[in-house]
Amino acid sequence: MEKKLPTIKEIARRLNISASTVSRALHDHPSIGLRTKMAVKKLAAELNYEPNQTAIFFKQRKTFTIGLVLPNLREEFFSAAINGIEDVALDHNYIVLIGQSHDDLAREQKLVETMKNHRVDGILASISSSTTHIEHFEQMKNYDIPVVFFDRVPDAKDIHSVSCNLYDSSVEAVEWLIRNGHKRIGYLQGPPTLNMKHERLDGYMEAHKKHKLPVDESLIVSTNLSVEGTRSAVDALLQLKKRPTAILSFNDYVTLDAIQYARQKKLAINKDICFVSYANVPVTQYVEFPPLASVEQFPYDQGVSATELLFRLIDKKVAGQESPYENIVLKSELIIR
């Protein structure tokens, strides 16, 4: 027969005390004497007693678990964000359930539903490149599960979010290229769903305006973030009669794909064509031709800020308090290599 797990009632029966006394002794309640506490804890250890977590969760109205939905774990950017998230979670005695959407909306929806069914106390999310609406996240309000978006933040009202200011750094990046003699600067943007705030594009346009340079719409192309999509977008730029001498690219991974394609077309990187990017991921330090500059978006800090915000929302939820929507914007920084 399968051996039954020891319970508080079993400890109470053996010591001839009440179950409530055992519970208070195990939690070091000041109303319980030292001798009783020691007897209870000694017997509990001998019986290999473990607290009923379900009962504890029910009493405290918490499962001490948060969900994390992000595009993928391959990118160093999100790995750094996870480090920040887990550091804060550990400080709060929480564990993190991680799910990858792989930039697929249906998969993202399934992950959110699964985390809801596991009764997570809150969800952190960086949306997929194919996410066209956030109804699946908004539904979490019906279950008192707060959601905080970070980095890839939807363009929606009434949400909690943490992101980086990419407008100012985009202006700075393009101005740096202009000061270095570039007049025709391409802009390789991401999918429309990830450009909802258009900070990068707005910064690109503003820098041209400040330096009285006309914006050639043919220099603005898009990639779906796949290798093929990036190659196609770069090819469109290289086919122009007056091709760009520099390209501002969506992120470092897209830039590395673009550089590889440009090299295949026999272009000398940082001579015939230059690249400036976003994310400043460490791996670019070890490639032969990294982007000349990259915008640091501080993924660790974003992860920390988003998780701290989520825990504030969880605490207010348990206390029955209202939580006004917060949109935290961190400063980014152009890193010149």
- Distance, CA of 140 to CA of 146 (rounded, Å): 7
pLDDT at 252 over 90: yes
Model confidence pLDDT, tens digit, residues 18-43 = 999 998 999 899 999 999 999 999 99
Q: What is the mean pLDDT of the chain?
A: 93
pLDDT at 1 over 50: no
Model confidence pLDDT, tens digit, residues 280-332 = 999 898 899 999 999 999 999 999 999 999 999 999 998 889 899 999 999 99
The predicted pLDDT at position 318 comes to 83
* Contact call for residues 144 and 317 (beta carbons, < 8 A): yes
Return the domain boundaries, the chain: 8-51, 63-164+299-330, 165-296
Please name the residue that has the structure tokens 């825990």. 311
- Region 127-134: what's the mean pLDDT? 95
CATH topology match: 63-164+299-330 vs 165-296: yes
Looking at domain 63-164+299-330, which of 3.40.1280.10, 2.40.128.20, 3.30.1600.10, 3.40.50.2300 is its CATH number? 3.40.50.2300
Architecture per CATH, 165-296: 3-Layer(aba) Sandwich (3.40)
Task: Give the DSSP H/E element, type plus range, for residue 336.
Answer: strand 333-336
Model confidence pLDDT, tens digit, residues 76-113 = 999 999 999 999 999 999 999 999 999 999 999 999 99
Reported in sequence order, the residue ranges of 41-184 that DSSP labels E, i.e. its strands, are 65-70, 95-100, 122-125, 147-150, 160-165
Q: Could you tell me which residue, 227 or 27, shows the higher pLDDT?
A: 227
* Contact call for residues 140 and 116 (beta carbons, < 8 A): yes
- Region 44-56: what's the mean pLDDT? 77
The predicted pLDDT at position 6 comes to 85
Residue 3: band (very low, low, confident or very high) from pLDDT cuts 50, 70, 90: low
Residue 57: band (very low, low, confident or very high) from pLDDT cuts 50, 70, 90: low
Model confidence pLDDT, tens digit, residues 182-207 = 999 999 999 988 866 689 999 999 99
